[in-house]
Structure 1
Amino acid sequence: MDDAELFERIRSGDTDALNRLIERHYDSIRRYCYWKTRRADLAEDLTQETFYRFCRSLPGYTHKGKCRAYLYTVARRLCGDALREQPPEPMEQVPEAKLGSSLSAEDEAGAHFQSKELQRVLRELPPELQEAVILRYSYGLRYREIAAVTGVPLYMARIRVERALTAMKKRMREEDSDEHEPERARQAAAGSPCSEA
């Protein structure tokens, strides 16, 4: 059953349909809040507040196929407010044990960004590019949804994702060539005629 069908049932007073809708989106919103704040307890609170506000807005909410984008927009605003009050701990300072006990590795940044190398390269991007690529590839949002969540035109959402991917690929190629440079220099020195003299 898709979101539209659930909304029809919610409108007719079916609380089970509301619970199913919340269950469908809860984990991804929680992971997003965690990615934004880097605090599991705060992410849980913000997720609950997101769904509380969503439920409060249901009487005036008109479903147009954008429920997921609406939830991410609410979560993004709540995270922004929370971060203005208290900035997140940098990932380098968050102990591994704290991450492991509060959320699984998949929750940390999404299934597509598991490797430490990818996470590091991602953190080097400007925040708006980080968010665009995370929303696209970790949470599966379409460009139109990313545009709605971040408040930019559709073309800008697409450009941000493309720029992020280009920058990440470039950085990883640079690092790959830097890793192989000492080996190449050693091989060149071993094979050069000057080294035999």
Structure 2
Amino acid sequence: MLRVKSGDLDKMGLLFERYHRPLFSFLYHMTGKADVSEDLVQNVFYRMLKYRHTFTGEGEFRTWMYHLARNVLNDSVKQNKSRNHEDVHAYADRIDGGTSADAAFEKQQDAESLHKAMAVLSEDHREILVLSRFQELKYEEIAGILNITEGTVKVRVHRALGELKKVFLKNENRRKTHDM
């Protein structure tokens, strides 16, 4: 990013190749909409170019990038006000790993249950889990992105996981009761 900042804009392609998938994953888990997430990724990279002068190189690039991604997401939410999640079935084929039909069906149900549980969580809980579990960022990096202490990140992750477990189990119990 420092080379992009100094005018070597060709390096932006390398950054895109490295980070567009993790950004898409983060934004998809936050919005639940693949097409919206793709647009938001483009907006993040546009802002990286536009605000390249703000990257100092003192912190990690990923922290700065996710901070921009959060701002793009927040701006999008303010503009659209509609936060409907797309049907998980549209994304299930990306989750499946080509196993047997029964295993694939069970995996799809688990993914659907997890997606539904994540959608019920507050935005703060969903965001902290996406960053820590799906994006696999270190607590130190998350603290930089959210402008909080590392200890606060640990507490929030613990609380979010507890809430996710509670919602997931509640949904699973409903599903099993309904299937009987």
Q: Please, what TM-score do these two structures have when normalized by structure 1? A: 0.66
Residue 119 of structure 2 corresponds to residue 127 of structure 1: no
Residue 40 of structure 2 corresponds to residue 42 of structure 1: no
What is aligned with 1:109? none
* Alpha-carbon shift at residue 11 of structure 1 (Å): 6.2
Q: Is the 8 A contact 2:117 2:171 kept in 1?
A: no
* Alpha-carbon shift at residue 157 of structure 1 (Å): 1.5
Q: Return closer, same or farther for 1:38/1:175 CA change in 2, 3 Å cut-off.
A: closer
Residue 32 of structure 2 corresponds to residue 32 of structure 1: no
What is aligned with 2:103? none
* Alpha-carbon shift at residue 23 of structure 1 (Å): 1.2
Q: Any idea what SS the aligned residue of 1:90 has?
A: coil
What is aligned with 2:68? 74
The percentage of counterpart residues that share the same residue type is: 26
What is aligned with 1:137? 133
What is aligned with 1:146? 142
The structure with more radius of gyration: 1
* Alpha-carbon shift at residue 119 of structure 1 (Å): 2.1
* Alpha-carbon shift at residue 88 of structure 1 (Å): 3.8
CA RMSD of aligned residues (A): 3.3
Q: Please, what TM-score do these two structures have when normalized by structure 2? A: 0.72
Q: Return closer, same or farther for 1:115/1:22 CA change in 2, 3 Å cut-off.
A: same
Q: Distance in 2 between matches of 1:140 and 1:58?
A: 25
Name stretches of at least 5 consecutive residues in structure 1 with no aligned partner.
1-6, 107-113, 182-197
Q: Return closer, same or farther for 1:180/1:82 CA change in 2, 3 Å cut-off.
A: closer
Amino acid at match of 1:116: E
Counterpart among 161, 166, 169 of residue 162 in structure 2 = 166
- Pick 1 or 2: higher relative contact order, CA cutoff 8 A, min separation 6: 2
Q: Return closer, same or farther for 1:60/1:175 CA change in 2, 3 Å cut-off.
A: closer
Q: Any idea what SS the aligned residue of 2:135 has?
A: coil
1:46-77 deviation per Cα after TM superposition (whole angstroms, max 9, x unaligned): 21121111123334422134211111111111
1:76-124 deviation per Cα after TM superposition (whole angstroms, max 9, x unaligned): 1111111112134433xx3456x349x9448xxxxxxx62222223233
* Alpha-carbon shift at residue 151 of structure 1 (Å): 3.0
What is aligned with 2:50? 56
What is aligned with 2:81? 87
Q: Any idea what SS the aligned residue of 1:115 has?
A: helix
Q: Distance in 1 between matches of 2:37 and 2:176?
A: 40
- Number of residue pairs aligned between Structure 1 and Structure 2: 164
Deviates more, 1:51-60 or 1:21-30: 51-60
Q: Return closer, same or farther for 1:81/1:117 CA change in 2, 3 Å cut-off.
A: same
1:20-54 deviation per Cα after TM superposition (whole angstroms, max 9, x unaligned): 12211111112222232333333222211211111
Name stretches of at least 5 consecutive residues in structure 2 with no aligned partner.
97-109
Q: Any idea what SS the aligned residue of 1:36 has?
A: helix
What is aligned with 1:21? 15
Q: Distance in 1 between matches of 2:5 and 2:172?
A: 55
